[in-house]
Chains A and B, each alone.
Chain A
Amino acid sequence: MAGLLSALEIGRRALLTTQQQLAVNGQNIANADRVGYRRREAVTQSTLPIDTPTMELGTGVQVVNVIRAIDQSLESSLRQSTQSTQYHQTMTDVLSQLENRLAPGGNAALDEAMVQFENDLQRLTASPETRELRLAFLNSARSLASQIHQDAAGTRDLRDSIVDANGRGTLPDTISQINTLSGQIAALNGRIVATEQSRFRPQQANELRDQRDELLGNLATLTNFTVSEQPDGSLTLRIGTESLVNADASRKLALDLSGTAPVVAFSDNGAPAAIDAGQTGAMLGAWQYLADHEVELDVFAQTLATETNALLAAGFDLDGNAGAELFSGSGAADIAVALNDTRRLGLSDAAGSSGNGKQAAALLDHLASPLATLGNHSLSEYPNAWIGQLAGDVATSNRAATLAAATEAMYTEAVASKSGVSLDEEMVHMLQLQRTYQASAKFVAAVDEMLQQALAML
């Protein structure tokens, strides 16, 4: 009877194991459409055999664990490519917005205003005493100043949309999201450790791990970080060398606006967070790019005013007096045309020779001369050169974004092939098993019948 009981026990265990494996199959199929779900695999193991005097008898099989089909290195690569994609896409988005503001429809408004200013000055060199031409020159100077204002305001608005002086904008929102996510990851760390290290019934916390991986994926869209798993199942997240999440504790990030540029730092010790990827990294980079452009626009406006005023003041007006200054202001924000009387334009290089227009020609030449303050660009070519640089940066960023997105898609596919659920495969496997068991039952019954006959013959 011991043999029969042993066989029954083997059968009971085997059936139980099969039911557990099928439950895992069922869970995979039921969760096939759920984002973030990783395919489960039942790990089976033969139970301890019994030693008999003649042989070792098997005692069956059991499910010892249900694990997630996951490749940590692939997951890590996917997160890194997500960080890179988000960085380049956000950067491209901001730079494209700037390009659309400064050069709507591909026409750089500041360059066009500069060309008009030079054309009107060119006409004055031939007939400097013509009132209509002097008036047209003053108007084009006003248009140029106005365009500088618009460009400066547009750039500042875009920069303020990232973060303004009062700490409002998309960057603070992103920091807030990072804090929320890191807090949730820390909480899940605690629950996973509690489940997997339980003294009473330790088990793999697959659902919680899925949730944590999903949060890691979301966090990767916002910032760069590295992940290391501890022996107890918790994850340690670091930005640079500073830990963001450690076990069930997370550290908050805060935006420091006290300096010339916004800095993301840890709120507990003020250590700067080395964020250079994800949406946050892109916003910090884009903010600096826009701030640099504002400075360059300031330098351009200041140089334009200084150089033009100096040359016109050195010339003589229609009444033989020293010419008046054309522009007022000290930068892009306040540059304006100070002169209203067209007679006061100092376009002649000699008193009493108001018709020679040589000072206007000198100013025209000077506008085309390279200046060290503008990086060896001339005032006339600077707006066009700058917008060309911006267009180049947009194209470069766009190419990088496309490449990063392709890499991310490749890793997403690789992760899906490792961890995704194939409904067809799961169902086909189950049907194959069912057919095999049915065939086996019939076959064994036939063998049994033959053995009955054999016993009768013997």
Chain B
Amino acid sequence: MSNLATPIGGPLGLCRTMRDVITALVDSSRELTAALMHRQVDACWALMAQQEKLSAEFHQHMQMWQSLFANHPAAEQGEVVRERSHLRESIHELQHLARTNAALSRGFSGAIRRALEGLGAAPARRGSVYNRLGRVPSGKTSVLVRQVG
């Protein structure tokens, strides 16, 4: 008798479950791309929260796969192999989307930083830090908006 809360349906069932999660992540990533481009802050955070949940779910399934079927002969059977192949393709697609989103986010973030600097924002030094030897200069900076006018 299994102590699992839900039946996993063997390696094939687990592969299909993981593929469903990845498909949901792919859809969510596409929506995140659109939200990033349209500067929809709330939608971005909602999608990130959704993806975090899906990622955690996927990670759980991955751990399960690793524990149960990584070295299991059933994982090398024809149908399971095909399903694993499809799953890898979906993961590749998701990676492609994720990297696009990461590049977009970094690009947007940099553009905003430059715009803020153009409007008078400047890296403001943190307050002096002292130790037993006296004041220690810090290379770390934080962005504060300097009031203009």
Q: Which residues of A contact B (CB under 8 A)?
A: 3-4, 7, 10-11, 14-15, 17-19, 21-23, 25-26, 29-30, 33, 44, 58, 60-61, 427, 430-434, 436-441, 443-445, 447-448, 450-455, 457-458
Contact = CB atoms under 8 A, between A and B. Distances in A.
Contacts of B115: 19, 22-23, 25-26, 430
Contact of A10 (B33, B51, B70, B87): B33
A441 B52 CA distance: 13
A455 B94 CA distance: 12
26 contacts: A7-B100, A14-B36, A15-B111, A18-B108, A18-B111, A26-B115, A44-B38, A58-B30, A61-B37, A427-B119, A433-B39, A433-B112, A434-B113, A437-B36, A437-B109, A438-B109, A441-B102, A441-B109, A444-B98, A444-B99, A447-B98, A451-B95, A453-B62, A457-B66, A457-B70, A458-B91
A7 B149 CA distance: 42
Interface stretch (B2-10, B40-48, B127-135): B40-48
Q: Is the interface of A mostly helix, strand, loop or mixed?
A: helix
Q: Is the interface of B mostly helix, strand, loop or mixed?
A: helix
Contact of A22 (B25, B84, B111, B145): B111
A7 B98 CA distance: 11
Given A433-B41, A444-B99, A451-B94, 19 more contacts: A3-B96, A11-B103, A15-B104, A18-B111, A22-B112, A26-B115, A431-B145, A433-B112, A439-B45, A440-B101, A440-B102, A441-B109, A443-B48, A450-B58, A450-B59, A452-B95, A457-B62, A457-B66, A457-B70
A19 B88 contact: no
A448 B41 contact: no
B111 A7 contact: no
Contacts of A19: 111, 115
B107 interface: yes
A454 B119 contact: no
B88 A434 contact: no
B112 A430 contact: yes
Interface string B118-131: 11000000000000
B39 A18 contact: yes
B91 A451 contact: yes
A318 to B, nearest CB: 86
Contact of B41 (A17, A30, A436): A436
A447 B51 contact: yes
A10 B118 CA distance: 26
B45 A436 contact: yes
A416 B31 CA distance: 36
B95 A434 contact: no
Sort A-B residue pairs by CB-CB distance and give the 4 closest, nearest first: A441-B105, A437-B109, A22-B115, A14-B37
Q: Which interface residue of A23, A33, A434, A458 has the most chain B CB atoms within 10 A? A: A458
